[in-house]
Amino acid sequence: MTKVGFRVTEAERVTVNEVFDSYIKQKYDLKPTTRTNYVYTYDHYVGETFGKRRLIQVRYTDVREYYYSLLLEEKLSPATVDNVHTVLHPAFQMAVRDGLIRVNPAAGVLGEIKKSHVWVKTKRKSLTVPEQKAFMNYLYSNHQYQGWKPVITVLIGSGMRIGECLGLRWEDIKPEREAERNA
């Protein structure tokens, strides 16, 4: 019986970028918009900096230091750092399963940072009805926003998130249900 060990030689050559590329290629269960968001997040915040590191050299403290630098030096929001973690953690986990590294260096990092005084999420506040009306009046009075009127009208009128609204298809709209409710 052949025992499969760690692939140290390969791990010494592989970068975090290459691990992410391999991970995202194999994520067949992602919706196209989610895939686009993952790739954008990675390319925009990780690829040119942290992503160039050799996989085998990345430690827990490196990931923690990187996340803190995104929060404190780059002034990114906690939500953005959470998104970065959402793409890095599973890519590292795949490298663990593939025998490239022994442990996931991102495991537990975000939980630790969330307990610190640095992790301050601002509370979101809904627009009041007068604010909604003022926003819509502004939107409709400025020709440059002409193309956004239908989408923003649906968002404000329904309370949908942008991803939900953009994901709507004609099959999702059931006019006969509306007719039944009004009967």
Tens digits of residue pLDDT in 78-124: 999 999 999 999 999 999 999 999 999 999 999 999 998 888 777 77
Tell me the per-residue pLDDT of 154-181, one tens digit each, with 9 for 90 and over: 899 888 888 888 888 888 777 665 556 6
Task: Kindly tell me the sign of the dihedral angle through the C-alpha atoms of 76, 78, 79, 85.
Answer: positive
CB 105 within 8 A of CB 65: no
Total-model pTM: 0.68
Place of tokens 């630098």: 69
Q: What pLDDT score was predicted for residue 30?
A: 87
DSSP structural state of residue 55: G
Q: What pLDDT score was predicted for residue 14?
A: 92
Domains in the chain (CATH in brackets) are: 8-114 (1.10.150.130), 129-182 (no CATH)
pLDDT above 50 for 75: yes
CB 99 within 8 A of CB 9: no
Tell me the per-residue pLDDT of 35-44, one tens digit each, with 9 for 90 and over: 999 999 999 9
